[in-house]
Amino acid sequence: MREALRVVAAGAGATIQDAGRRGYMRFGISGSGAMDLDLLALANALVGNPGDTAAIEIAMLGPTLVCEADRCRVALAGAPFVLGLNGQRLDAYTACDLRRGDRLTLGAPREGMRAYLAVSGGFALAPMLGSLSTHTRSRLGGLDGTALRAGDRLPLLDPAPAAQPLTLPAHHRPRFGGPIRVVLGPQADSFTEAGLRTFLTEPYTLTARADRMGCHLDGPAIAHADGFNIVSDGIVNGSIQVPGHGRPLILLADRHTTGGYPKIATVISADLGRLAQVRPGEAIRFEAVSVEAAQAIAREARQAVSRRLAAMIPAGGGSLDSAFLLACNLIGGVVSAEPHETAP
């Protein structure tokens, strides 16, 4: 029988996600993929995988998994979930080797919402439409298009870890929080000036209706200029629709591809990950930036990922072989070894 991770308890909506699928929005299928691609890359790097390898995206309450492989390396990146190995606490952002029969438990996070559990070698699953990402509405990806269920066996491709386990020192780990930056439009002209001001000055609270498809917000109603129906057009990851009741709905990775409510703004790509850490009941504020500024922020965010990859060191001390990092194809673009931290 193939080596696997067995799901003992499913947690709440944990799914297999990679970098998502591309080219199928025109057929009604959004890209899916990790809600925070940078965290996916970090978790994968810690276990020696390419950054876009499929991992388990965990939301709010993690699963319990049993190792059914001789050896397998795992690492968690993201919100500080309580992580245990056979009842003993483990550190996040630190690779850990499991042996057959080991039991990995993920509780709830102290703060934040999502994290990624990467497994050395990734999963032995067949891509559907070019990706392993789970999209439940289209019954695509993962084991059979669904979230993890108790009893599932997640087959592993090649779990025996090759090199030393890595850790990301604490001061390099991403922090969350802060305003959610947006580019106004594509239909900002569907709102009054007062409506736009409301959107950019008032806090909005995530409701319980928040998942991978989108999150409904509560807060002061945003005034439309002339009605709230448009002829449906395309929706991207981060599009903020404002239906008739005036409260925004942010559409995310598993969204509908088209929709008929005006979109006041779009969350910038670099802030989608931070948005994915906001819990129901928590408030966010929006801040408008230009397209050019958003593109510069995205470049900066990629450099921050590169710095974090370069800052990884062997777990338990020692020095890292940089040839190993390159061999693992971890780093795209500029690598700076400076331990300089920039807030997101």
HSE (side-chain half, CA atoms, 13 Å) at 22: 2
CB of 294 to other proteins, least distance (A): 4
Q: Which of 25, 213, 320, 335 binds other proteins (CB under 8 A)?
A: 25
Per CB under 8 A, does 298 bind other proteins?
Answer: yes
User: By C-beta, is 24 or 81 nearer to other proteins?
Assistant: 24
Query: Other C-beta atoms within 10 Å of 286: how many?
Result: 23
Q: Determine the Cα–Cα distance for residues 173 and 188; give it in Å rounded to an integer.
A: 36
CB of 87 to other proteins, least distance (A): 41
Per CB under 8 A, does 121 bind other proteins?
Answer: no
Q: Determine the Cα–Cα distance for residues 185 and 188; give it in Å rounded to an integer.
A: 4
HSE (side-chain half, CA atoms, 13 Å) at 115: 30
Q: Determine the Cα–Cα distance for residues 169 and 302; give it in Å rounded to an integer.
A: 19
CB of 30 to other proteins, least distance (A): 10
Task: Compose the 29-48 pattern: x for residues touching other proteins by CB under 8 A, - for all others.
Answer: x-------------------
Q: Determine the Cα–Cα distance for residues 192 and 172; give it in Å rounded to an integer.
A: 43
Residue 184: closest CA among 248, 229, 232, 231: 248
Stretch that binds other proteins, among 59-67, 212-220, 229-237, 275-283 (CB under 8 A): 229-237
Beta bridge partners of 258: 234
Stretch that binds other proteins, among 78-86, 111-119, 262-270, 315-323 (CB under 8 A): 262-270
Query: Other C-beta atoms within 10 Å of 310: how many?
Result: 21
User: By C-beta, is 7 or 125 nearer to other proteins?
Assistant: 125
Q: Which of 223, 236, 313, 335 binds other proteins (CB under 8 A)?
A: 236
Contact 263, 239 (CB under 8 A): yes
Per CB under 8 A, does 300 bind other proteins?
Answer: no
Per CB under 8 A, does 139 bind other proteins?
Answer: yes
Per CB under 8 A, does 243 bind other proteins?
Answer: no
Per CB under 8 A, does 335 bind other proteins?
Answer: no
Per CB under 8 A, does 22 bind other proteins?
Answer: yes
Ramachandran category for residue 180: left, alpha or beta (phi over 0 → left; psi -120 to 50 → alpha): beta
Per CB under 8 A, does 146 bind other proteins?
Answer: no
Q: Determine the Cα–Cα distance for residues 343 and 176; give it in Å rounded to an integer.
A: 9
Residues that bind other proteins (CB under 8 A): 22-29, 128-129, 137-140, 182-183, 185-187, 230-236, 238-239, 256-258, 263, 266-270, 291, 294-295, 297-299
